[in-house]
Structure 1
Amino acid sequence: MKLHTLKPAEGSVRTNKRLGRGQGSGGSTAGRGHKGAQSRSGYHAKPGFEGGQMPLQRRVPKFGFKNNNKVYYKAVNLDALETLAAKNSGGNISLQFLIENGIVGKNDKVKVLGRGELKSKISVEAHAFSATATKAIETAGGSATIVK
């Protein structure tokens, strides 16, 4: 097999009907139906045009507001860290470790919150910590490191 011999599977590629190119392209209307804007040459529908029907972007009401400057965090609680500490023998829970275990996505910013109880001595890396989470981690003998 060589690059110049590659071709698609038999029957997988069909040639398009050449619309609006006279009698030879499929009968008197050339596959365009009868009359109307879509049968004419030069026809171009605007994006979102639904043939005069009230388009979707106008039927659906405007709702909400998204602040582009707000930083959205993915919350990770102490009880989740406690279960992860059992998996991790080193006691070091980094952002990479959280991503590998499916707790957060690779583009998420992580904030550790104080729900649950922490018994293990662990050092945690995150983008933000709540006051109760920091206190609980340091009480257990661990450390909370803020990552930029």
Structure 2
Amino acid sequence: MQVHKLTPSVSRKLRRVGRGHGTGRGKTAGRGTKGQKARGRIPIGFEGGQQPLSRRLPLYRGRMKNQPVRTKALPINLKALNQLPSGTEVTAEVLVKYHIIDKSVVNRRLKILGDGELTIPLTIKLPISKRAAKKIEKTGGTVVQAA
């Protein structure tokens, strides 16, 4: 890296406001005069004194209360399994070994989906869609239903 080869910064420097008349942004600092918006911060969800939406709908009160507890399964398509050797028993550990999934997602729910074509027979020991199961059995592979 050399000084004359540095590229200029992409983002502009933020202008400091409220630092005296000479700056052009002193005194009211671009906020106008008086009123709620000229003063301190307004809380998120504040509706001018009206009962806030979060209090009017008690069902949705609280954070993450109505979110589903179960995470969605991580999809793995058949076309990704073509790089495995023929006759392999497909488990999460095997998928990590062949770099199909990252080891950070081994403990997540996985599901084999039927996108793409499979050219080799495999034994699947993971949750699988009906379409993917048909394609695997068509190539001579087997499906062992994982709980």
Normalization by structure 1: what TM-score? 0.50
SS at match of 1:112: strand
Alpha-carbon shift at residue 71 of structure 1 (Å):
4.8
Partner of 2:137: 138
Q: Does 2:101 match 1:103?
A: yes
**Could you say which residue in structure 1 is the equivalent of 2:36?**
none
Structure having the higher strand fraction is 1
SS in 1 for 2:74: strand
Give 1:9's aligned residue: none
Task: Provide Cα deviations, 1:33-86, integer angstroms capped at 9, x if missing partner.
Answer: xxxxxxxxxxxxxxxxxxx62356x48x98x96212x45100000100112x2x
Distance 1:115 1:71 in 2: 21
In 2, distance between residues paired with 1:131 and 1:142? 14
Give the root-mean-square deviation of aligned CA atoms.
2.9
What percentage of aligned pairs have identical amino acids? Answer: 27
Distance 1:137 1:55, change over 3 A: same
The answer to whether residue 89 in structure 2 is matched with residue 78 in structure 1 is: no
CA 1:89–1:143: 2 relative to 1, 3 Å: closer
The residue number in structure 2 matching 1:66 is 67
AA partner of residue 141 (structure 1): G
Structure 2, unaligned runs of 5 or more: 1-39, 47-52, 55-63
Query: Unaligned stretches of 5+ in structure 1?
Result: 1-51
Q: Corresponding residue for 2:89?
A: 92
2:38 pairs with 1:54 = no
Change (3 A) 1:54 1:74: same
Runs of 4 or more, structure 1, over 3 Å off, are: none
Deviation digits for residues 75-133 of structure 1 (CA, Å, limit 9, x no counterpart) = 000100112x2xx365222121113325151221111111111110111121x211110
